[in-house]
Amino acid sequence: MKKWILILPLIYGLGWMVPAWSQTDPAIEAKVDALLARMTLEEKIGQMNQYNGFWNFTGPAPAGGEAANKFDNLKSGMVGSMLNVRGVENVRKVQELALQSRLHIPLIIGFDVIHGYQTLSPIPLAEAASWDLAAIQRSAKVAATEAAASGINWTFAPMVDISRDARWGRVMEGAGEDPFLGAQIAAARVQGFQGRDLSDPLTIAACVKHFAAYGFAEAGRDYNTVDIGTSTLYNMVLPPFKAAANAGARTFMNSFNEINGIPATANALLQRDILKGQWGFTGFVVSDWGSIGELIPHGLARDGKQAAELAVNAGSDMDMESYNYLNHLKSLVESGQVDEALITDAARRILRVKFELGLFDDPYRYCDEERERTMIGNSDEMDAVLQMAKKSIVLLKNENALLPLPKSGKKVALIGPLAADKTSPLGSWRPAADDGTAISVLEGMERYSGNRLMHYPGVKLFEGEPAFVTELQINETDTTGFAAAVNGAKQADVVVMVLGEHGLMTGEGRSRAFIDIPGLQEELLKAVLAVNSQVVLVLMNGRPLAIDWEAEHVPAIVEAWHLGTQSGNAIAQVLYGDYNPSGKLPMSFPRSVGQVPIYYNHKSTGRPDRAGGGMVFWSHYNDESNDPLYPFGFGIGYSKMAYSDLRVTRGSGNSITVQVNVRNMGKLAGEEVVQVYIHDLVASVTRPVKELKAFEKVSLSAGESRTVRFTLDESSLGFYNNDGHWVFEPGDFMIMAGGNSVDVLQEKITIQ
């Protein structure tokens, strides 16, 4: 039983108000003040306007047509930023236009550098599967270096939305379902993009998105309504945003969804009270693409003018592509509906970041042709993304040690529409990378084995040419390639099948109602298995898939996601045992789509099990298990890791020490992610049955055993109450440790 509740305002409440990172540089503040003093109202509003460039589009064109007077507005200081302009030559051109304005204020240039620029890392969800924060930080640094060398100084990343619903296409952009892992990764990515010094021309400003709760779109349908309680908001949604803010992220992006009836773009609680108020955020907030205008179809604003009023009052500082700030803010201020102080504050925030980036010292700081030639796609970057890709692979099943494959002596048939594909593995969100630039599995396996392989696509993934739009016509009819593939499988000792989703089947606007392996691929798999049982399934996908049948019938399954430029090399190293897979799932894999949303850190319910509810009256399905197919945190390697000797002891104050022994039982050296979960058994607000609170990735040589130690204190054992205060409630805690969220050792401890 809880005896008392300790509210911790100093550490988690007031501490938010003046965190060290939010201290602004007095020298920069003086310059911002001086500039603001010279600016007209219109010029300040100009800073709040962001235009799309003249090339890539990453959202729908504005309803009234694209801005016709972009050039004139650039020259008259009515544009503070552009997105989707890239390449030194192009950035220089738009910067030259902006510098013709009265006060010569440079543009900040934004771009979606989501998992690399031209040299691509794995998609963010895959990177999260590495649980390797140093590698993730390095990957973000590589992305920043290349983008900066191409003239860009601001990325719309990291996306830190917690996501539990595999139907949502944007799960590929985040770190999965867990707020603790998500928070660590959010901070690592911010540090990777921004480095130590934002004015270094090889670092770029991060933009933490989408603030907030976008990942909770109902039914997994993109842009859909979000309706979550405050407990979920504070404990699940906000922690990665807060961690990113604490890591010094200089910008935030709001989101398309409404939450509790208020669209995020017009949400003052989120933007003014929490972000800029409690967290003391001194950077600026950009709207999502057109989201200020979308306040009208949401049913919150009657027209663009009211939309601008609501958004600016709520704390949205920059308008991405809806033009409502430019069109209406001046008259709103003149009529007294908007306080000019809010406009000055928004302009101040935007100018501050421009000064921090060094753009006022040299507006062409990011425009160096020599850097652009030498710093994109160089060997260091290729090596970093290859290392990242290997670490992102998750081995899900390996019956009878079918893997690793020997490099010679066994005849291997490589089958599947994605086996030789050099585009799909690049994944979604890669506007600066060209099609066909990934190493395919075929190329990787031939390179690492030194042999030519038999290869049969079996089916084409698409009927016709894949379109950019979401309606990809997955092949459901053409089986003409089956015979050759089945025949090849008959002659082989082992079959490697590469199946899954095309890279563009995930990402924005790419929700799916069915999350199985699409098209004829499953049928092909069954036909091959009928003639050769020795099948290794290599999955490429941007979301958890429902692969219940495959998990039962296929002896080995490798989750290879969309791994980016070095995909085939990374996969080949794992298949041949040059790298012992070490990834762990950052999202639960369902057995069927009907279980979605499925996540490990759920609440208990009043009737959690059959024992309490008899045959019928307990929380379950009649036709499906409650359990995921593969749980959060799951992944095996070529060496079995055995856990023993969990010891949980009281430390000083209300802290506890957790120790657990891990032994590498195999013949190969390997890495293991040791995970610690807690369950606060009784609390004033119900707590999840498990919450990840610590992890460490350890390397163990064959036979090696290690005791891994963790300390948990009130900052781990507490939670946010429904007022958004962090509280620690003494009482009983179940402490669990293991190699995934299900197979754990556990011990109860009481903190009085």
For the CB of residue 173, give the shortest distance to ligand BGC in the complex, in Å: 8
Distance in Å, CB of 136 to ligand BGC, minimum? 19
Residue number with CB closer to ligand BGC (112 or 372): 112
Contact footprint for ligand BGC (CB under 6 A): 58-59, 83, 112, 156, 209, 288-289, 508
Q: Are strands 207-211 and 251-254 parallel, antiparallel or unpaired?
A: parallel
**For ligand BGC, which is the closer residue by CB, 167 or 390?**
167
What DSSP letter does each residue of 8-38 carry, written as one string? -IIIIIHHHHS-GGGPPPHHHHHHHHHHHHH
Q: Which residues pair with 205 in a beta bridge?
A: 154
Cα separation of 602 and 616, whole Å?
A: 21
Taking residue 294's Cβ as centre, other Cβ atoms within 10 Å add up to 21
3-state secondary structure 175-216: CCCCHHHHHHHHHHHHHHHHCCCCCCCCCCECEEEEECCHHH
| Cα gap 628→590, rounded to integer Å | 5
Active site (annotated) includes residue 380: no
Which residue's CB is nearer to ligand BGC, number 294 or number 691? 294
CA-CA distances (angstroms) from residue 635 to 428, 640, 693? Answer: 24, 11, 19
Strand order in the sheet with 726-728: 6-7, 726-728, 719-720
Q: Who's near 297: CB < 8 A, 6+ residues apart?
A: none
CB of 244 to ligand BGC, least distance (A): 15
Nearer to ligand BGC, 109 or 712 (CB): 109
Work out how close the CB of 430 gets to ligand BGC at its nearest, in angstroms, rounded to a whole number: 12
Contact call for residues 251 and 285 (beta carbons, < 8 A): yes
Q: Which of 288, 317, 345, 421 is catalytic?
A: 288
Q: How far is CA 730 from CA 1, 3, 10, 606, in A?
A: 8, 7, 18, 23
Q: State how beta strands 394-398 and 556-559 pair.
A: antiparallel
CA dihedral 727, 731, 736, 737 (to 10 degrees): 70
Smallest distance, Å, CB 220 to ligand BGC? 16
CB of 241 to ligand BGC, least distance (A): 14
Q: Of the two residues 320 and 575, which places its CB atom closer to ligand BGC in the complex?
A: 320
| Shortest distance in whole angstroms from residue 251 CB to ligand BGC | 11
C-alpha span between 273 and 71 (Å, rounded): 37
CB 680 → ligand BGC: shortest distance, Å?
34
The length of the chain is 752
* Residue matched to tokens 């306040």: 295
Q: What's the min distance (Å) between Cβ of 84 and ligand BGC? A: 7
From 293, 321, 322, 429, select the one nearest 52 (Cα to Cα): 321
The residue with tokens 């109450």 is 721
Query: In angstroms, rounded to a whole number, what is the distance separating the alpha carbons of residues 524 and 515?
Result: 17
Which is nearer to ligand BGC, 156 or 456 (by Cβ)? 156
Smallest distance from the beta carbon of 51 to ligand BGC, in angstroms?
12
Q: Which is nearer to ligand BGC, 249 or 415 (CB)?
A: 249
Helix/strand/coil (H/E/C) assignment for every residue in 91-128: HHHHHHHHCCCCCCCCCEEEECCCCECCCECCCHHHHH
By C-beta, is 62 or 613 nearer to ligand BGC?
62
Would you give the end-to-end CA distance of the chain in angstroms? Answer: 9
* C-alpha to C-alpha distance for 130 and 673, rounded to whole angstroms: 9
Residue 621 burial by Cβ neighbours in a 10 Å radius (0-12, 13-18, 19+): exposed
**Min CB(734)–ligand BGC separation in Å:** 38
Strands 154-155 and 108-111: parallel
**Cβ(685)–Cβ(721) under 8 Å?**
yes
In the chain, DSSP finds a helix count (H) and a strand count (E) of 24, 26
> Residue 159 CB, nearest distance to ligand BGC (Å)?
7
Contact assessment for residue 507 and residue 541, using Cβ atoms and an 8 Å cutoff: no
**Can you say whether residue 502 is alpha, beta or left, with left for phi > 0 and alpha for psi between -120 and 50 degrees?**
beta
Residues whose CB is less than 8 angstroms from the CB of residue 615 and which lie 6 or more positions away in sequence, other chains included:
none
Between 156 and 710, CB nearer to ligand BGC: 156
Nearer to ligand BGC, 58 or 659 (CB): 58
Q: Are 245 and 274 in contact (CB under 8 A)?
A: no
Going by C-alpha positions, the residue among 178, 167, 216 that lies closest to residue 594 is 167
Report the residue number, 212 or 338, with the smaller CB distance to ligand BGC. 212
Nearer to ligand BGC, 240 or 670 (CB): 240
Q: How far apart are CA 295 and CA 308, in angstroms?
A: 9
Is the Cβ of residue 284 or residue 589 nearer to ligand BGC in the bound state?
284
What distance in Å separates the CA atoms of residue 373 and residue 376, rounded to the nearest whole number? Answer: 7
In the bound complex, which residue of the shown chain has the CB atom lying closest to ligand BGC? 58
- Residue 242: which of 312, 330, 326, 182 has the closest Cα? 182
What is the closest distance, in whole angstroms, from the C-beta atom of residue 562 to ligand BGC in the complex? Answer: 17
Q: Quote the tokens at residue 32.
A: 């911002």
Give the catalytic positions in this structure.
288
